[in-house]
Amino acid sequence: MVNLAELAFCGFIGIFSLRFANRTARSARAFRSIFRIESDKVHEVIDGEPAAIEGAVIVDEPAYAADRTVDHTDSAVGAYLWRATFPKSNKKVIDFKNRNIRQARITFASGMEFGEFSVANNKRKIRVDPTWLLESHESTRLAELTAHGLNSDNAIAISLWDSPHIRLTGTKTKRTLDQLRDLTNTRDSKGLDSYHIESKPIHEDTTIAIYGNIRIEQGEPVIYGTDETPLTISEQGFDGLRNSLRFKIVKNGLVFLFSLSIIVFIFIENFHEYLIF
């Protein structure tokens, strides 16, 4: 007899497995795009061609409200990654990094604010255009953020904060939404202390590795992303990013295979009498 409770559980596990299948696929795609890059070699900057660049960040125009959202702004902030979260009721998680137990939180919005910044490469400035990162992850701009109508997070989609295409390892800043309400599209002031906004910045003079496509605008090179050549940014160089992506592929792949095996087991248990071996 078919067990409806087990089938419902199977559906839940199916959504869970799709989440990790998507994460595995996205990490593998990012890894493939930078697999053959040799960080110790200079890559030519040619209009219409991919380029791999590693150099110091130069900030010509700071990112939106960086002085409010990022700590330690003695040096200019060219861009910062951010996410907005709210607490998950009655659920705790173990924070192995900080060795404590904390309130579980759900990311309901994520994005990237950027001004005008470049990377120095062989005495030449190459401007960075992160627009593709925002568009490919359906991200929100901080000025458009609202805390209305929140129910749950998307169990399958990958937020820009968790994207395999960007790895920022600097110090995180945490603010409450109430502290930054005037920077967003949130009008209601009630209960905003429970909503958090975290950020990770790209400071001036920070060395980053970046991979993307090149276009020439008014005689100056710009590096940007496309679906064929995803923009990838790392503060740990290309080698560090590859190591991080390998770990993500293995971790997410194993979780996907484990959850898939549960689905197969439940399916066989409920429909074995209809199967012909």
- Give pLDDT, residue 127: 96
- Give pLDDT, residue 152: 47
Burial class from Cβ neighbours inside 10 Å (0-12, 13-18, 19+) for residue 239 reads middle
- Give pLDDT, residue 25: 83
- Give pLDDT, residue 155: 58
Does residue 237 come out as left (phi exceeding 0), alpha (psi in the -120 to 50 range) or beta?
left
- Residue carrying the six token digits 């997410």: 252
Per-domain residue ranges of the chain = 1-36+237-277, 37-235
The 10s digit of each residue's pLDDT in 39-90 is 545 557 888 899 999 999 999 999 999 999 999 778 999 999 999 998 877 6
- Give pLDDT, residue 186: 86
- Give pLDDT, residue 252: 85
Percent of the chain scored above 70 by pLDDT? Answer: 81
Which residues of the chain are under the pLDDT cut of 70? Answer: 1-10, 36, 38-43, 90-103, 148-156, 189, 270-277
- Give pLDDT, residue 151: 46
Contact 77, 66 (CB under 8 A): yes
Listed residue (134, 138, 202) closest to 167, CA to CA:
202
